[in-house]
């Protein structure tokens, strides 16, 4: 059984490899061969083409398409060198005639994919052949891709300008347009009836589940599943002194406070539908702000340089005996990066002792320290800020213990030196003190 399975696997791999080579050969227009090989291919192609025409005239569509497949197989594999212009033109003229016949027979047999492939190859050889474009329009219609038919018909109309048979060609394109338009109208009417029937049953039927299904919010394409870790060579990467790491974090923290960047982050939070997507996109949004700082400290202005910078800062914040002030500065830098979304996107995943207070919490503490003499206008502004709904409430990946007020529920305190995994804008784990604090 193992031997048979191995033989089957080898055979499958060989067939896949051959299919890949054939596809590449078709895209290249065939391999350059000798004139003798080209002559043999054209003789075989011409003979099979004539056999196919005879079978087609007899009404034997299956036999005709087999002949034209053989002709196509003989012609697409070989071509003359580019210096032999006349020979290549004769070969292309014969090949495009075979492809149009092959597409016509495939349409007759409703082999829509084969018809589209043949028509596409014919258009690739000569994009001014109106019959090839019409075959492609028919194949697209058969596949139900009605929105793409108009492009083919428009191309045919432009090609027909100045031709003696322009009127006949335009009659064909107008008839095809009317047919496609009728199909589109029929599809829209059918969808409308289905929608009306569904609404009717959802309202009046007691046997059906009447729970409303909310449509998914529109948003940018999802990229979180494509995020990969950047490999950094430990032996060759750049390192920083403690003072340089401190200066770098301060510059990043200041850069993250740019008003334009904060608006971009807020808009990103409204656009995306998931916490993971927010973090993945934040990496791309933040990189232009980080590049000047990276360059000033000798790092490449790229994702690789960003990863090296994280490693260099982590040298001074990741160890148990690292400077507590530097660890706090690293986490404050992350808080500056996430801004109002720090708690929901990062802080909620950290131990309470490792989090830094958000802007609202700091403002409330300052007001409390100032006594009861605060102005009523400040209280009203603070209340309005707290009651304003954050733009991340629609996130599907939002933590369940996140409170809309912008705080995370306290968890049991962990021993000093414990490692905590959290999300960073680079998608990597964050150790105690914010080893990835440069963001």
pLDDT digits over 7-19, tens only? 878 888 877 776 6
pLDDT of residue 136: 93
CA-closest candidate to residue 439, choices 294, 319, 324, 323:
294
pLDDT at residue 438, as a whole number: 42
Q: Could you tell me which of 83, 49, 79, 46 has the C-alpha nearest to residue 65?
A: 49
| Of 120-134, 192-206, 212-226, 337-351, minimum mean pLDDT range | 192-206
Least confident of 48-52, 173-177, 252-256, 367-371: 367-371
- Label residue 323 exposed, middle or buried (CB < 10 Å: 0-12, 13-18, 19+): middle
219: left (phi over 0), alpha (psi -120 to 50) or beta: beta
Query: What does the pLDDT look like over 126-179, one tens digit per residue?
Result: 999 999 999 999 999 998 888 899 999 999 999 999 889 999 998 999 999 999
Q: What is the pLDDT of residues 312-344, one digit of tens each?
A: 888 888 877 788 888 888 888 888 888 877 777
Mean pLDDT of 287-310: 89
Which range has the top average pLDDT, 75-89, 178-192, 201-215?
Answer: 178-192
State the chain's mean pLDDT as an integer.
76
User: Rounded to whole angstroms, how far apart are CA atoms 119 and 129?
Assistant: 10
HEC string of the chain equals CHHHHHHHHHHHHHHHHHHHHHHHHHHHCCEECCHHHHHHHHHHHHHHHHHHHHHHHCCCHHHHHHHHHHHHHHHCCEECCCCCHHHHHHHHHHHHHHHHHHHHHHHHCCCHHHHHHHHHHHHHHCCCCHHHHHHHHHHHHHCCCHHHHHHHHHHHHHHHCCCCCHHHHHHHHHHHHHHHHHHHHHHHHHHHHHHHHHHHHHHHCCCCCCCCCCCCCCCCCCCHHHCCCCCCCCCCCCCCCHHHHHHHHHHHHHHHCCHHHHHHHHHHHHHCCCHHHHHHHHHHHHHHHHHHHHHHCCCCCCHHHHHHHHHHHHHHHCCCCCCHHHHHHHHHHHHHHHHHHHHHHCHHHCCHHHCCCCHHHHHHHHHHHCCCCCCHHHHHHHHHHHHCCCCCCCCCCCCCCEECCCEECCCCCCCCCCCCCCCCCCCCCCCCCCCCCCC
Please give the residue that has the higher pLDDT: either 243 or 360: 243
Q: What is the pLDDT of residue 425?
A: 37
């Amino acid at each position: 059984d193992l031997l048979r399975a191995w033989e089957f696997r080898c055979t499958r791999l060989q067939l896949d490899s051959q299919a890949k080579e054939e596809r590449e050969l078709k895209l290249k227009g065939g391999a350059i061969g000798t004139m003798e090989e080209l002559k043999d291919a054209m003789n075989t192609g011409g003979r099979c083409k004539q056999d196919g025409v005879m079978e087609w005239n007899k009404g034997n569509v299956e036999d005709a398409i087999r002949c034209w497949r053989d002709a196509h197989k003989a012609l697409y594999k070989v071509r003359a060198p580019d210096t032999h212009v006349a020979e290549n033109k004769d070969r292309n003229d014969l090949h495009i005639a075979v492809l149009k016949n092959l597409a016509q027979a495939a349409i007759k047999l409703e082999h829509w994919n084969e018809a589209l492939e043949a028509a596409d190859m014919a258009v690739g050889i000569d994009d001014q052949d109106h019959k090839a474009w019409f075959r492609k329009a028919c194949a697209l219609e058969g596949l139900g891709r009605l929105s793409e038919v108009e492009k083919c018909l428009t191309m045919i109309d432009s090609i027909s300008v100045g031709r003696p048979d322009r009127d006949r060609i335009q009659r064909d394109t107008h008839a095809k347009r009317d047919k496609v338009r009728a199909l589109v109208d029929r599809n829209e009417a059918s969808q409308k009836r289905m929608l009306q029937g569904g609404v009717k049953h959802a309202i009046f039927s007691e046997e059906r589940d009447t729970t409303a299904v909310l449509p998914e919010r529109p948003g940018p394409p999802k990229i979180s599943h494509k995020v990969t870790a950047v490999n950094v060579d430990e032996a060759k990467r750049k390192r920083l002194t403690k003072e340089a790491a401190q200066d770098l974090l301060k510059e990043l923290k200041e850069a993250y406070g740019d008003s334009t960047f904060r608006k971009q982050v807020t808009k990103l939070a409204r656009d995306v539908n998931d916490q993971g997507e927010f973090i993945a996109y934040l990496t791309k949004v933040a990189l232009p702000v980080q590049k000047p700082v990276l360059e000033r400290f000798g790092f490449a202005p790229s994702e690789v340089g960003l990863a090296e910078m994280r490693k260099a800062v982590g040298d001074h914040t990741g160890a148990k005996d690292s400077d507590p002030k530097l660890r706090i500065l690293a986490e404050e830098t992350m808080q500056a990066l996430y801004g109002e979304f720090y708690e929901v996107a990062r802080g909620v995943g950290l131990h309470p002792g490792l989090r830094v207070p958000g802007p609202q919490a700091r403002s409330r503490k300052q007001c409390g320290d100032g006594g009861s003499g605060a102005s009523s206008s400040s209280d009203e502004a603070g209340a309005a800020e707290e009651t304003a709904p954050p733009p991340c409430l629609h996130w599907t990946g939002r933590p369940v213990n996140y409170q809309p007020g912008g705080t995370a529920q306290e968890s049991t305190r962990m021993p000093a030196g414990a490692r905590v995994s959290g999300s960073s804008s680079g998608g990597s784990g964050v150790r105690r003190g914010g080893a990835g604090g440069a963001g």
